[in-house]
Copies of this chain bind each other. A is one copy, B any other.
Amino acid sequence: MADVVSSEAERRIVVAVDESEESIYALRWCLRNLPRPVSGDASESRDTFILVYARPTPPVYSAMDGTGYFFAQEVTANMDKYSRDLADAVMEKAKNICKEYANITVEAKICAGDARDVICQMVDKLGADLLVLGSHGYGFIKRALLGSVSDHCARNAKCPVLIVKR
Contact = CB atoms under 8 A, between A and B. Distances in A.
11 contacts: A1-B43, A1-B102, A2-B100, A3-B42, A7-B33, A11-B33, A26-B160, A33-B34, A160-B164, A160-B165, A163-B163
B163 A102 contact: no
Contacts of A39: 42
A122 to B, nearest CB: 16
The quantity of this chain's copies bound in the complex is 2
A161 B132 CA distance: 10
A151 interface: yes
Interface in A27-83: 29, 32-37, 39, 42-45
A41 to B, nearest CB: 9
Contacts of A36: 4, 33
A7 B29 contact: no
- Range class of the A interface residue count: 35 or more
A5 B37 contact: yes
Given A1-B103, A159-B165, 19 more contacts: A1-B102, A2-B101, A3-B42, A3-B43, A3-B102, A4-B37, A4-B45, A4-B102, A4-B104, A33-B36, A33-B130, A37-B37, A135-B154, A150-B154, A154-B163, A160-B164, A161-B163, A161-B165, A162-B163
Nearest to A131: B163
A84 interface: no
A93 interface: no
Q: For A34, A42, A135, A150, which residue has the most chain B Cβ atoms within 10 angstroms?
A: A42
Nearest to A156: B165
Contacts of A104: 4
